[in-house]
Amino acid sequence: MPEPLLSIKNLAVEFKTDDGIVQAVDDISYDVFPGETVGIVGESGSGKSVSTLSILGLIPQPPGRIVSGEAVFKGRDLLKLKKKELQRLRGDEVAMVFQDPMTSLNPVLRVGNQVGEAIKAHYPKESDDKVKERVIELLRLVGVPNPDVRYTQYPHEFSGGMRQRAMIAMAIANSPSLLIADEPTTALDVTIQAQVLEVLKTVQEETDAATILITHDLGIVAELCERVLVMYAGKIVEQGDVHTIFQNPRHPYTIGLMDSLPKLTEDEDWLRPIPGQPPSLINRPSGCAFHPRCFLSQGRLPCHTEVPPLRSTDVGEGHLSACHFAEELVGRRSKFAQPVGAS
């Protein structure tokens, strides 16, 4: 097996709020290998964004605080880097695409300048003309039409999809080896989503960057990712390659997520939403945080007394689940048994 590009171990992040301490990320570990695409899936508030923002020093501290853990990237622990070193890494070797392209671009600066800034920040000696040339080339790469005109326009003159393309151009400006896309299509119309995903795919092939794709949309995961992490209440509850997870899910939450999605290709009698709401991260339910909403638990004792460890299951070595009774799910198929990605 090759060296992982990024290796996160026992990361825990908490936020101090008026109501108490929020355990946003609770002791998670995972690896990302060069060139692969990893999906992180979960409901809002499951800690999926915080788990990546925190290692890049992008959560406000305070109220945020990294309690423990390490995040080794190319042999260096990001959590131990000095502010300046981390800053040099951001936007150069590790780049991010954010959720809302409406608010993620500065409304009073020209788009070209904002993309160029990403280059200038790391190569201050580069001449302005060169930077401009490169920015226009990048805009063309991500499919912005008339890039030399668009270069001088302001974000409000861009449509949502175009802004997200500009964001992607900004992220890949310095050919990062790790690209983190935080819900890159959530704020967009469905037709635009497909286009932006297309761009992400192209970019990935172009730069060969490893990608962490954070989303709540299993369809996107099926389409783009090779491996999946499912997060719930700040913990990883299931992890494995994308086919196994869709074919043989071993965590009731994963099954719930899949069953709550409509599937257009089949006759459907009902949707099965997961009952209840995501738990409060201040007073996390005892034992397995999912037990109050779980169809499998049936009130069994271990579910609310013991925190289930993330362990390998019957499916195979690389497949991990954090459910006491994962084996009971054998043979239980989700609606997604035929993976969408394969069609």
Q: Contact residues for another protein (CB under 8 A)?
A: 18, 56, 58, 60, 63, 83, 87-92, 95-96, 98-100, 103-109, 114, 117-118, 121-122, 154, 156, 167, 170, 270, 272-273, 275-277, 292-295, 298
| Cis check: omega of the bond before 63, within 30 degrees of 0 | yes
CB of residue 213 vs another protein: minimum separation in angstroms?
A: 16
**Dihedral Cα 77, 82, 87, 91, nearest 10 deg:** -10
Candidates 90, 53, 47, 76; CA nearest to 229 is 47
Residue 33 half-sphere exposure, CB side, CA atoms within 13 Å?
9
In angstroms and rounded to an integer, the radius of gyration of the C-alpha atoms of the chain is 21
Beta carbon nearer to another protein, 88 or 284: 88
Beta carbon nearer to another protein, 235 or 293: 293
CB of residue 114 vs another protein: minimum separation in angstroms?
A: 8
Beta carbon nearer to another protein, 62 or 75: 62
Beta carbon nearer to another protein, 40 or 320: 40
Handedness of CA 127, 129, 134, 138 (dihedral sign): positive
CB of residue 341 vs another protein: minimum separation in angstroms?
A: 27
CA distance 245 to 307: 22
CB of residue 1 vs another protein: minimum separation in angstroms?
A: 30
CB of residue 119 vs another protein: minimum separation in angstroms?
A: 9
Rounded to whole angstroms, what are the CA distances from 28 to 44, 71, 230, 236, 333?
17, 11, 11, 6, 27
Beta carbon nearer to another protein, 146 or 277: 277
Beta carbon nearer to another protein, 187 or 242: 187
CB of residue 154 vs another protein: minimum separation in angstroms?
A: 4
CB of residue 91 vs another protein: minimum separation in angstroms?
A: 3
Beta carbon nearer to another protein, 270 or 331: 270
Beta carbon nearer to another protein, 191 or 298: 298
CB of residue 303 vs another protein: minimum separation in angstroms?
A: 12
CA distance 329 to 327: 5
Beta carbon nearer to another protein, 109 or 337: 109
CB of residue 296 vs another protein: minimum separation in angstroms?
A: 9
